[in-house]
Structure 1
Amino acid sequence: MASSRLGSVQGMPIKLDNVGIAVRDLDAAIDFFTDLGLTVLGRDTISGEWADTAVGLDGNHVNIAMLQTPDGTGRLELFEYIHPDALETEPTRPNEIGMHRVAFSVDNLEVALEVAAAHGCYPLRGVASYGDVYKLTYVRGPSGIIVMLAQELRKG
């Protein structure tokens, strides 16, 4: 893998803050993710020149919600566009280039799948085992989001 002089500046701390996902129905997406165990940290409506500049869209106006995993290390920012109009696309497939899934480690995959099913969300194909390490599946979540659910089989 090629290295870049700018890409690895010694001493520059970096951490993943959140993953942003545009959704068709903010409340439905919040319900899905909170039922899986995430907590809503806050909700807001964002607009103005600063938002236009940051996002690169004129008239950027969205309703957002920030959610956090129970361990406090992972956050999702869900946003529903008011303006410009949200663009519907075909649901992402696992082999498409670009961001296509968000992954969660769960204590009990069967319970997580029951929660997903209550929201009309089901595995793309089924549940698989990655050796004796994980039991996992990809679920088509709200707004077509692919959500990986994985249960660690070996603890300790």
Structure 2
Amino acid sequence: MENNNLLRMDNVSIVVESLDDVISFFEEIGLKLEGRATVEGEWAGRVTGLGDQCVEIAVMVTPDGHSRLELSQFLNPAVVSDHRNSPVNALGYLRLMFAVEDIDEMVSRLTKLGAQLVGEVVQYEESYRLCYIRGTEGLLIGLAEQLGNK
């Protein structure tokens, strides 16, 4: 095996319109808010290539503490494009997948909050039950319930 300097993947980032709404949605799934801050200044614009920027971010963490989701709401500059409602075969960000214990219960809770099932809950062999759901702001979320030996 080659020497690899990769240590881990720290997070996935999603740009949103309303941090409060999206935080509430991911809390319903089971993530916890780890922190919230405003990122601005010349150094931040040098990292992103956007120049002068002001972004409010929230970091959410999964219950096991291993995966993080960074939500970003751009205050300056304005958002220039919107890919959230692209079909699942569009290039770029597709979806976040979460392992859940009871997919039917999770779908029921999320649809009560306005989320929409994309297709249907399906079973893959004797291994998983899976579905895609469009949540707050049209974000595409995958849910997977492992069957049998959990």
* TM-score category (smaller protein): over 0.9
Moved more, 138-147 or 84-93: 84-93
SS at match of 1:77: strand
Equivalent position to 2:101, from 95, 98, 107: 107
Distance in 1, matches of 2:149 and 2:48, equals 41
Gaps of at least 5 residues in structure 2 are: none
* Structure 1 residue corresponding to 2:86, chosen from 83, 86, 92: 92
Report the counterpart of residue 54 of structure 1 in structure 2.
Answer: 47
- The gaps in structure 1 that reach 5 residues or longer are 1-7
Which of residues 135, 144, 147 in structure 1 aligns to 2:141?
A: 147
The within-5 A match list for 1:1-156 is 10-90=3-83, 91-156=85-150
Deviations 1:44-89 (A, max 9, x none): 0111011101111122211110000001111100011101112352
Normalised by the length of structure 1, the TM-score is: 0.89
Cα root mean square deviation, aligned: 1.5
Q: Aligned partners of 2:93 and 2:2: how far apart in 1?
A: 25
Aligned pairs, how many? 149
For 2:59 and 2:66, locate their aligned partners in 1 and report how far apart those are by CA, in whole Å. Answer: 13
Could you tell me the percent identity over the aligned residues? 34
- Structure 1 window deviating more from structure 2 (37-46 vs 91-100): it is 91-100
